[in-house]
C-alpha cells in the first residue's frame, strides 16, 4: 500500500550568518501492507514527521521515490492527495469553528456534495463520539476531544491510507486507550493506518508492524514480536539503592549492561544461568542488593541494542 | 468548474467566520470615520475650495483608497494564525485548488472592504458629498482591485515569512512611503515638481487620481481607465504570485 525507496530530506537552517544543514531523513525504505497498522517509533527529532510530510505531499523529497495507494508521489501528487488522509502532529482545527463546520468543509474540499458532506459529518461525529459537542466551538473542547476531531477530519473522505502523526501524545491513559480503539476501528473498516509514536507500549500494543527510526534512518523493522525475538537471550534487571548503581556497574563490566537511576539491566544469553553468577559478582564487590528480575526483552531493549541509547531517556 | 466551486467553499467559510464577529468590520472603519469627522472640517479652508461638498470630493476618495491599501496589507496576520493552527496544512493535503485557497480569502477581504466603504460613503453624504451611482460603483471596483492586490501581497508575504514579528515591520515599511507618495490625504497639486515626479511612479497615486475623477463626476477623464487598468494588472500579478506561494511547500 505504501512503498518507499531511498527517501531523503535535509533542511538548511540559518542562524545569523551560519548555515547549518540538518539531514532530517537519510534514505528511508519502507513497505506497508494493505490493512495494517504500521508504526513509526522514534525519539524526538528522529525524522518521523518529516517522512510523513513527504508522503503526504507537503514537502518535496530531495531524493528517492514512493508509491502510495498505487499513485506515484513525484509524478502525481494530486492523485496521492485524493487517496490519503493526513493528521498533523500539531492539530488542525480552528478555534472559532465547530467540529461539524470543519467536517462538512473538509468533506466538501474532497468533492462531496452538500448533503453528502452533512451525512458524512454526522456519521463520523457519531463514530468518534463527538455528537454531543458537534456544534460547540473547537476552542471549548478538551485535548482528547480536539484530537478526535483532528482524526475525524483526516478520515472523513474514507481514504485508503491515513497518516496519523502522534495521535495520542498529550492524552491521559484513558483517552489513549480510547484512541487505540478508534484506530483499530479504522483498520477494521479496511484503512491502512500509518502512525508515529514515541511510546513503546503504544507501538507494542497497537501496531501490526513497526519501524524504529533514529537520526533519520530506519534501524529496525518487523512485528513487535519479531523485533523482540531478534535480541537473543534475556534481560536481568537488578534493582539497587541509588548510590550502589555505579559500584554495581563496575563489578559487572564483563556483561553487556545499561545503568539507570535505581537499577542496572544486563543482557545475557540465559538468565537462569547468569543470575547466580551476577549475584556472586555483586556480593564479592560488597554491593547491597535490592531486587532481581528476569524478563523478556522489550522494544526499548531493541532500541537500545540498535542505537546504543535508551528511548526512555532520549 | 472546480476553481469556482473551491473558491466559493473557502469564501463561504471565511465569511461565516467574519460574520460571527462583525464587530471587526466596525473596528476597521473607526479610524477613517474619525478622519472624516475630525479632520475633514479643516479641508475647505485648507484646500481653498468654495464648498464642503468639493472638499469631500477630494478627501473621501483618498480616505477610501487608504482604507483599501491598509486593510489589505494587514490581512496576512490572520493567515499566520491559520498557519499556526494547522488549518492551512490541512487544506494543502486535500485536492483543493491552491488558487482557491487564496481567492476565497482575498474575496472575503474585498467584501469587508466594500462594506466599510459603503459606511463611509453614507456618512459623507451627510456632509453634502454628492456622487453619481454609476461613478460610485466604478470607484468601488477600483477599491476592490486595490484590496484584492494588497491582501494577496500580504498573504504571499505571510506565507514566506511565517511570523507576525517579521510581517508587521515589513508591511509598515511598504505602506508608509506608498501612502505619503500617493497624494492620498491631500492632492499633490501643490507639491514641488520632484515630488510629483516620484508620485508618478507610485501606482496608488494613479488609483487615487482615478477615484477622485470618479467622485468629481469626470467619467471621461483618462485618469479613470488608467487607474483601473494599472490596478487590474497589479492585482492579477499579486494573485498569481501569492497563489504560487500557497502551492509551494509551507515550512
Ligand atoms: N523546516 C525545518 N527546518 C529546519 N529543520 C527542520 C525542519 N523541520 C524539521 N527539521 C529538523 O529535522 C529533524 C527531524 O524532525 P522531525 O520533525 O521529522 O522529527 P520527529 O521524529 O517528528 O520528532 P518529534 O517526535 O519531536 O515530533 C529535526 O532535527 C528537526 O529539527
Ligand atoms: Mg514529529
Integer angstrom CA distances of residue B161 from A174, B84, B157 = 40, 13, 6
pLDDT at residue B250 above 70?
no
Per DSSP, the three-state class of A67 is strand
CB atoms closer than 10 angstroms to residue A177: 12
Secondary structure letter of residue A98 according to DSSP = B
The string of DSSP letters for B43-112 reads HHHHHT-SSHHHHHHHHHHHHHHHHHHHHHHTTHHHHHHHHHHTHHHHHHTS---HHHHHHHHHHHHHHH
- For residues B53 and B125, what is the distance between their CA atoms, to the nearest angstrom? 9
- pLDDT tens-digit map of B111-146: 999 999 999 999 888 888 888 888 999 999 999 999
Q: Which of A81, A93, A96 sits opposite B94 (nearest CB)?
A: A81
Q: Which of B20, B93, B96 sits opposite A57 (nearest CB)?
A: B93
**Atom 6 of ligand 1, residue of closest alpha carbon:** A11
CB atoms closer than 10 angstroms to residue A189: 11
Domains and CATH numbers, chain A: 2-228 (3.40.50.300), 232-296 (3.30.70.980)
With cell 506515484, the residue in question is: A72
Chain A touched by B23 (CB under 8 Å): no
Choose, out of A95, A99, A106, A109, the residue to mutate when testing the contact with B (most B CBs < 10 Å). Answer: A109
Alpha-carbon distance A310 to nearest alpha carbon in chain B (angstroms): 30
- pLDDT tens-digit map of A113-150: 999 999 999 999 998 889 998 999 999 998 888 999 99
pLDDT at residue A24 above 60?
yes
A30-45 mean pLDDT: 90
For residues A258 and A66, which has the higher predicted lDDT (pLDDT)? A66
In this structure, are strands A209-214 and A37-41 parallel, antiparallel, or unpaired?
Answer: parallel
CB atoms closer than 10 angstroms to residue A113: 10
Residue A131 CA, ligand 2 centroid: distance in Å: 29
Are A148 and A130 spatial neighbours (Cβ–Cβ below 8 Å)?
yes
- pLDDT tens-digit map of B67-107: 999 889 989 999 999 999 999 999 999 999 999 999 999 99
pLDDT at residue B23 above 50?
yes
> Is there an atom of ligand 1 within 6 Å of A263 CB?
no
Are A94 and B85 spatial neighbours (Cβ–Cβ below 8 Å)?
yes
- For residues A128 and B127, what is the distance between their CA atoms, to the nearest angstrom? 58
- For residues A151 and A124, what is the distance between their CA atoms, to the nearest angstrom? 10
- pLDDT tens-digit map of A188-229: 999 999 999 888 788 888 999 999 898 899 988 888 888 777
pLDDT at residue A300 above 80?
no
Predicted pLDDT at B41: 75
For residues A24 and B44, which has the higher predicted lDDT (pLDDT)? A24
Predicted pLDDT at B187: 72
| CA-based nearest residue in chain A for residue B78 | A94
> Is there an atom of ligand 1 within 6 Å of A64 CB?
no
B51-60 mean pLDDT: 83
Residues 142-181 of chain A whose Cβ lies under 8 A from any Cβ of chain B: 153
Per DSSP, the three-state class of A65 is strand
Chain B touched by A82 (CB under 8 Å): yes
Are A95 and A138 spatial neighbours (Cβ–Cβ below 8 Å)?
yes
pLDDT at residue A49 above 80?
yes
- pLDDT tens-digit map of A253-288: 888 888 888 888 888 878 788 888 888 888 888 888
Predicted pLDDT at B8: 95
Instruction: State whether the Cα torsion A149-A154-A158-A163 is positive or negative.
Output: negative
Q: Collect contacts of B34-37 with beta carbons under 8 A, ≥24 apart.
A: B35/B63, B36/B60, B36/B63, B36/B120, B36/B123, B36/B124, B36/B127
Report phi then psi at B182, rounded to 5: -110, -5
pLDDT at residue A79 above 60?
yes
Minimum mean pLDDT range among A237-246, B11-20, B110-119: A237-246
Predicted pLDDT at A313: 55
Residue A88 CA, ligand 2 centroid: distance in Å: 9
Predicted pLDDT at A91: 87
Mean pLDDT of chain A: 87
Minimum mean pLDDT range among A242-246, A303-307, B212-216: A303-307
Instruction: Return the half-sphere exposure (C-beta side, CA atoms, 13 A cut-off) of residue B229.
Output: 5
B3-25 mean pLDDT: 90
Asked if B87 lies within 8 A of A78 by C-beta distance, the reply is no
Predicted pLDDT at B251: 41
> Is there an atom of ligand 1 within 6 Å of A89 CB?
yes
Alpha-carbon distance A207 to nearest alpha carbon in chain B (angstroms): 24
Minimum mean pLDDT range among A47-56, B142-151, B179-188, B193-202: B179-188
Residue A43 CA, ligand 1 centroid: distance in Å: 11
Amino acid at each position: 500500500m505504501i512503498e518507499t525507496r531511498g527517501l531523503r530530506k535535509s533542511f538548511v537552517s540559518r542562524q545569523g550568518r551560519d548555515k547549518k544543514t540538518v539531514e532530517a531523513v537519510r534514505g528511508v525504505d519502507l513497505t506497508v501492507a494493505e490493512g495494517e497498522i504500521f508504526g513509526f517509533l522514534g525519539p524526538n527529532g528522529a525524522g518521523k514527521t518529516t517522512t510523513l510530510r513527504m508522503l503526504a505531499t507537503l514537502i518535496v523529497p530531495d531524493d528517492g521515490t514512493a508509491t502510495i495507494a498505487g499513485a506515484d508521489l513525484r509524478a502525481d501528487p494530486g492523485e496521492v492527495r485524493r487517496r490519503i488522509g493526513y493528521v498533523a502532529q500539531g492539530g488542525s482545527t480552528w478555534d472559532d469553528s465547530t467540529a461539524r463546520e470543519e467536517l462538512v468543509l473538509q468533506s466538501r474540499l474532497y468533492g462531496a456534495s452538500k448533503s453528502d458532506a452533512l451525512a458524512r459529518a454526522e456519521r463520523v461525529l457519531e463514530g468518534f463520539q463527538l455528537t454531543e459537542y458537534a456544534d460547540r466551538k473547537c476552542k471549548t473542547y478538551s485535548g482528547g476531544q480536539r484530537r478526535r476531531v483532528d482524526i475525524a477530519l483526516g478520515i472523513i473522505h474514507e481514504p485508503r491510507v491515513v497518516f496519523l502523526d502522534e495521535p495520542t501524545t498529550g492524552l491521559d491513559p484513558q483517552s489513549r486507550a480510547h484512541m487505540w480503539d478508534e484506530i483499530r476501528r479504522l483498520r477494521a473498516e479496511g484503512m491502512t493506518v500509518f502512525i508515529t509514536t514515541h511510546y513503546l507500549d503504544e507501538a507494542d500494543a497497537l501496531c501490526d508492524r513497526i519501524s524504529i527510526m533514529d537520526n533519520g534512518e530506519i534501524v529496525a523493522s518487523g512485528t513487535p514480536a519479531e523485533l523482540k525475538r531478534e535480541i537473543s537471550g534475556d534481560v536481568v534487571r537488578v534493582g539497587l539503592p541509588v548510590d550502589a548503581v555505579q559500584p554495581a556497574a563496575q563489578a559487572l563490566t564483563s556483561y553487556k549492561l545499561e545503568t539507570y537511576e535505581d537499577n542496572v539491566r544486563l543482557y545475557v544469553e540465559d538468565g537462569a544461568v547468569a543470575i547466580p553468577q551476577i549475584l556472586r559478582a555483586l556480593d564479592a564487590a560488597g554491593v547491597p542488593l535490592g531486587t532481581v528480575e528476569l524478563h523478556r526483552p522489550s522494544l526499548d531493549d531493541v532500541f537500545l541494542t540498535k542505537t546504543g541509547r535508551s528511548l526512555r531517556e532520549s | 468548474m472546480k476553481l469556482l466551486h473551491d473558491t466559493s467553499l473557502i469564501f463561504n467559510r471565511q465569511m461565516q467566520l467574519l460574520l460571527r464577529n462583525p464587530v471587526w468590520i466596525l473596528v476597521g472603519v473607526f479610524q477613517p470615520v474619525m478622519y472624516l469627522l475630525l479632520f475633514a472640517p479643516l479641508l475647505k479652508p485648507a484646500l481653498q475650495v468654495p464648498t464642503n461638498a468639493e472638499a469631500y470630493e477630494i478627501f473621501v476618495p483618498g480616505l477610501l483608497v487608504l482604507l483599501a491599501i491598509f486593510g489589505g496589507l494587514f490581512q496576512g496576520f490572520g493567515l499566520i494564525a491559520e498557519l499556526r493552527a494547522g488549518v492551512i496544512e490541512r487544506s494543502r493535503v486535500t485536492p483543493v485548488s491552491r488558487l482557491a485557497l487564496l481567492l476565497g480569502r482575498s474575496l472575503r477581504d474585498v467584501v469587508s472592504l466594500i462594506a466599510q466603504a459603503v459606511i463611509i460613503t453614507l456618512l459623507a453624504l451627510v456632509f453634502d458629498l454628492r456622487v453619481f451611482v454609476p461613478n460610485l460603483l466604478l470607484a468601488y471596483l477600483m477599491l476592490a482591485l486595490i484590496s484584492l492586490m494588497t491582501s494577496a501581497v500580504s498573504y504571499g508575504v505571510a506565507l514566506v515569512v511565517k511570523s507576525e514579528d517579521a510581517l508587521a515591520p515589513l508591511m509598515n515599511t511598504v505602506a508608509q512611503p506608498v501612502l505619503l507618495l500617493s497624494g492620498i490625504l491631500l492632492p499633490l497639486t501643490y507639491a514641488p515638481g520632484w515630488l510629483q515626479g516620484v508620485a508618478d511612479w507610485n501606482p496608488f497615486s494613479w488609483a487615487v487620481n482615478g477615484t477622485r475623477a470618479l467622485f468629481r463626476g469626470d467619467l471621461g477623464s483618462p485618469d479613470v481607465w488608467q487607474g483601473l487598468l494599472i490596478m487590474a494588472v497589479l492585482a492579477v500579478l499579486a494573485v498569481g504570485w501569492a497563489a504560487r506561494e500557497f502551492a509551494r511547500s509551507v515550512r
